């Protein structure tokens, strides 16, 4: 983080270091229009506090399993004409859908675990049968 007068700005290296991501990842989010740095006269990227916050939201969204398209909607990049209340409602609905998806995956994993434990028990029993006959 650096200051230019009252304005705070970040270089691509600052952001990469702070968020422990590659500069290539940051440029990728820029290509996807998720963040939009200004350029200096020397063509260096300068990221604003707004870009910093957006990058933080992008990375949090990815950690929660959202696609870049979903993240874009959540941070309000795709629907410029909707108000804050509608944006919050949309975000809550997306969050509820993600919770439902996670719960379904948890249930699927529990079933898989039960099947694997059952299979393991059968294989252990069969192994005991085969080795006691010897």
Identify whether 73 is part of a domain: no
Distance CA 89, CA 7 (A): 32
Residue 98 falls within a domain, yes or no? yes
| CA pair distance 69, 73, nearest whole angstrom | 6
User: Looking at 65, 92, 110, which one is the last position of a domain?
Assistant: 65
Residues 6+ apart with CB under 8 A from 49: 8, 9
* Per-residue model confidence as pLDDT tens digits over 79-116: 566 677 887 888 899 999 999 999 999 999 999 999 99
According to DSSP, the residues that pair with 48 across neighbouring strands are 9
* Residue 10 in domain: yes
Residue range 35-86, pLDDT digits in tens: 999 998 899 999 999 899 999 999 999 998 899 988 988 887 655 666 778 8
pLDDT band at 2 (very low <50, low <70, confident <90, very high): confident
Domain span including residue 21: 1-65
Q: Is 86 found in the same domain as 60?
A: no
Has this prediction a pTM greater than 0.85?
no
- Using the CB atoms, write b or e for 4-13: b if 16+ within 10 Å: eeeeebbbbe
Region 2-8: what's the mean pLDDT? 74
Burial class (CB in 10 A: 0-12, 13-18, 19+), 128: exposed
Nearest partner of 47 among 109, 88, 2, 102, judged by Cα: 2
């Amino acid at each position: 983080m650096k200051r230019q007068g009252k304005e705070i700005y970040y270089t691509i290296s600052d952001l990469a270091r702070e968020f422990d991501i590659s500069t290539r990842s940051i440029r990728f989010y820029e290509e996807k229009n998720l963040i939009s740095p200004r350029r200096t006269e020397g063509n260096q990227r300068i990221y604003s506090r707004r870009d910093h916050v957006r990058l933080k939201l992008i990375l949090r969204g990815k950690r929660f399993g959202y696609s870049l398209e979903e993240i874009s909607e959540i941070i309000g990049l795709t629907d410029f004409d909707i108000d804050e209340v509608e944006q919050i409602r949309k975000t809550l609905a997306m969050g509820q859908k993600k919770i439902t998806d996670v719960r379904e995956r948890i249930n699927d994993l529990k079933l898989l675990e039960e099947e694997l434990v059952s299979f393991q028990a059968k294989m252990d029993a069969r192994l005991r049968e085969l080795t006691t006959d010897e």
